A = this chain, B = another copy of it.
Amino acid sequence: MTDFQPIIDNITLQAKKQVDKGQVANYIPEISNVDPNKFGISILDEKAQLYSSGDAKEEFSIQSISKVLSLSMAFSIVGENLWKRVGVEPSGDPFNHLSLLEMENGIPRNPLINAGAIVVCDILISNLKNPKSEFLEYVQSIANDPSINYDEKVAKSEKETGFRNYAAAYLIKSFKNLENDVETVLDFYCYSCSIRMSCEQLVKVFYIFMNRGNCLQNNNYLKLPQVKRINAIMLSCGFYDEAGEFAFEVGLPGKSGVGGGIVALLPNKFCVATWSPGLNKKGNSKLGMSALEKLTTETGLSIF
């Protein structure tokens, strides 16, 4: 068993000293106003031992990381039928291109690009009575933490400025791959992305993907083949156009969000979350990416 504490303390120390921290996302005020000097990291290992360093208890907007959670909930409800409506292949394109969507008849390439997550939200709406509250309860329950919540201001800002998401949703709708109306779907989608969590909360939630579908309280949320499927998707699609690079540099399934969060995991070994608001050119947290590289280099822990 690895003692992660000195490793992550050292990573935090270096991160805090780093001058070029990337660019904070500026498309909505609620996210652009975050202090770029924040840096947090948490690790939860297979014995449920938690290690934290830096601003690991501070909440931030998890944004696209929530796509893994909505996927997880939808997958547990509809099972393999999910793949009739969304693919499992890397997009091979920046995260917002509609061209592929059009060429492939409204079937998004995978559930971790915006278009795919919109379809996943549509599935949840069709299968839940109160999508917003039930999804939140699902996340709270996995984390065993009822304090996790949406950020309504972020959700609203996102909805008001998300013209590309509207374009994608209407394009999908034109191909009859959206059952509910676009407004309803995007409203839920924006709420789901607005969830706030800290690094510590994130590793508790993502523990289920590292621990064969079982949470810290040992309740089962997903079957093992479902967990493996989601991990495979995170590895190949979790980092936009940088997926191949990340797969090599870090070698862990994971997901990033424009709020600066990244979560990743080594099956049966550990789950890690980092937070640093500055992004690199591909839209992934700059210091988070390099923190994960250091972690896997120093520990030798990776899937490759």
A-side residues, CB < 8 A to B, are 87-93, 97-100, 102-103, 109-110, 163-164, 166-171, 173-174, 182, 227-229, 231-233, 235-237, 241, 243-245, 247-248, 251, 253, 267, 302-304
Contact = CB atoms under 8 A, between A and B. Distances in A.
Contacts of A166: 166-167, 170, 173, 182
A179 to B, nearest CB: 13
A171 B163 contact: yes
Contacts of A97: 102
20 contacts: A87-B244, A88-B245, A88-B248, A89-B241, A90-B243, A91-B92, A92-B100, A98-B98, A99-B103, A163-B173, A167-B167, A167-B173, A228-B302, A231-B304, A232-B247, A235-B235, A235-B236, A236-B244, A237-B244, A267-B304
A225 to B, nearest CB: 8
Nearest to A93: B92
A243 B89 contact: yes
A112 B173 CA distance: 24
User: Secondary structure at chain A's binding surface: helix, strand, loop or mixed?
Assistant: helix
Contact of A171 (B167, B173, B182, B244): B167
Which of A99, A103, A173, A248 has the largest number of chain B CB atoms within 10 A? A248
Contacts of A164: 170-171, 174
A100 B241 CA distance: 14
Contacts of A228: 248, 251, 302, 304
Contact of A304 (B109, B174, B253, B302): B253
Which of A100, A236, A241, A303 has the largest number of chain B CB atoms within 10 A? A303
